[in-house]
């Protein structure tokens, strides 16, 4: 069912969950930590998603790491994404997520990575008439009292039209919204996302459809909205080190950060990641983010390489501030904002082991 969207700031609903804006921050493995999600909400995402959590890991406790998913008041509403191939196991994982505070449970049926698909999870769940996928949706929807959603691709094979069968089946099984990334699993992230397929899915189902894939600018978001009738757009790789894209969508104007704004935002992200993961793990986790942030503004070419070799986040901060000394007052204000948020209440810790497989 096509949606008449006048603005990306329009409020909408997935089931009984009200979402304050039609920009969704994608679940991305190895990226969507709490610091990333909180940043997304601050800059304009109406809904943010966790990276995918293994239902098997939850059930057997065999993936325990120091990566715990947390929910902060300023990141809600939050969807927690789970993956697996066994309906009963997925239902139990969903119950655990809801007990911990998830507002929405999302089922990953789009992951193209071999280590996931070989287990019968991820993108393979749309094959064979989506029979296994529908059983999982039904089991999860029956197990929890929050909305259940599905993120999927067009199918596994190039040219597949499995989405056209799977979408209506998942809706009938209890899915309250569907996200379509209109590439095949075999494509991974090559080629282009064919949003003519998104428009087709919109006409096939009556639940909201979220468009995902190649939405990396305000202009592209508007085109996808107007040509597909989707309810919302999902931003993934375009938001990596670039929360200003989310802001530009929210404000319907181009937003170009200064060097000082880039450095201040990056340092805030560094500090919140250290708080979440600890210093040692954060140093390694953050290295991919340095290059993503420094694509904004004008910085010495040597700075990216320098940051990737530093062994502490204090050294990272010092190098960034040396490149933009005037960022210091912005950082001080950000710290005051963080303190005010923390005064509202402690984060709710969710003891959920995170699976760092590739996302869908």
Candidates 328, 344, 282; CA nearest to 34 is 282
Residue 10, CB half-sphere, CA atoms under 13 Å: how many? 13
Q: Where are the beta strands (DSSP E) in the chain?
A: 12-14, 17-19, 23-25, 47-49, 53-54, 68-71, 78-83, 104-109, 148-155, 177-184, 209-212, 232-235, 348-353
Q: Exposed e or buried b for every residue in 183-219, given b needs 16+ CB within 10 A?
A: bbbebeeeeebbbebbbbbbebbebbbbbbbbbeebe
Asked whether 34 and 346 are in contact (CB, 8 A), the reply is no
For helices 218-228 and 195-204, what crossing angle results, to 10°?
40
112: tokens are: 């193209």
- What's the rounded Cα separation, in Å, for the pair 248 and 92? 39
Q: Which residue has the tokens 């597949």?
A: 160
Catalytic option among 49, 56, 97, 111: 111
Q: What is the largest CA-CA distance in the chain?
A: 58
Residue 111 among the catalytic residues = yes
φ, ψ of residue 274 to 5 degrees: the values are -60, -45
Cβ atoms 191, 183 nearer than 8 A: yes
Query: Are the CB atoms for 25 and 47 separated by under 8 Å?
Result: yes
- In sequence order, which residues have a C-beta less than 8 Å from that of residue 297 and are 6 or more positions away? 257, 258, 259, 261, 262, 324
> What is the Cα gyration radius of the chain?
20
Task: Pull the structure tokens for residue 1.
Answer: 């069912």
204 SS3 class: helix
What is the set of active-site residues? 111
């Amino acid at each position: 069912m096509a949606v008449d969207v006048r603005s990306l700031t329009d409020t909408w609903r997935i089931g009984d969950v009200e979402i304050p804006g039609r920009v969704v921050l994608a679940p991305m493995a190895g990226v969507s930590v709490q610091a990333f999600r909180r940043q997304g909400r601050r800059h304009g995402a109406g809904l943010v998603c966790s990276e995918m959590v293994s239902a098997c890991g939850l059930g057997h406790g065999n993936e325990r790491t120091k990566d715990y998913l947390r929910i902060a008041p300023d990141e809600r509403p939050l969807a927690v994404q789970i993956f697996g191939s066994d309906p009963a196991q997925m239902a139990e994982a969903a119950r655990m997520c809801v007990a911990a505070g998830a507002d929405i449970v999302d089922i990953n049926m789009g992951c193209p990575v071999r280590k996931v698909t070989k287990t019968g999870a991820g993108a393979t769940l749309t094959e064979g008439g989506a029979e296994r996928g529908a059983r999982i949706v039904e089991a999860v929807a029956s197990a929890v009292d929050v909305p259940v959603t599905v993120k999927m691709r067009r199918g596994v094979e190039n040219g597949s039209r499995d989405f056209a069968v799977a979408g209506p089946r998942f809706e009938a099984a209890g899915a309250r919204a569907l996200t379509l990334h209109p590439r095949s699993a075999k494509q991974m992230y090559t080629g282009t996302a064919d949003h003519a397929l998104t428009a087709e899915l919109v006409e096939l189902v009556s639940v909201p459809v979220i468009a995902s894939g190649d939405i990396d600018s305000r202009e592209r978001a508007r085109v996808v909205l107007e040509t597909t009738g989707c309810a919302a757009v999902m931003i993934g790789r375009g938001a990596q080190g670039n929360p200003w894209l989310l802001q530009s969508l929210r404000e319907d104007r181009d937003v170009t950060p200064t060097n000082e704004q880039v450095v201040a935002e990056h340092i805030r992200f560094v500090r919140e990641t250290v708080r979440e993961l600890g210093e040692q793990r954060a140093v390694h986790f953050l290295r991919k983010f340095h290059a993503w942030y420094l694509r904004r503004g004008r910085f010495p070419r040597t700075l990216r390489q320098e940051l990737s070799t530093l062994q502490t986040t204090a050294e990272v901060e010092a190098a960034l501030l040396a490149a933009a000394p005037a960022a210091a007052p912005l950082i001080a204000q950000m710290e005051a904002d963080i303190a005010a948020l923390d005064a509202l209440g402690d984060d709710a810790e969710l003891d959920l082991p995170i699976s760092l497989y590739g996302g869908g």
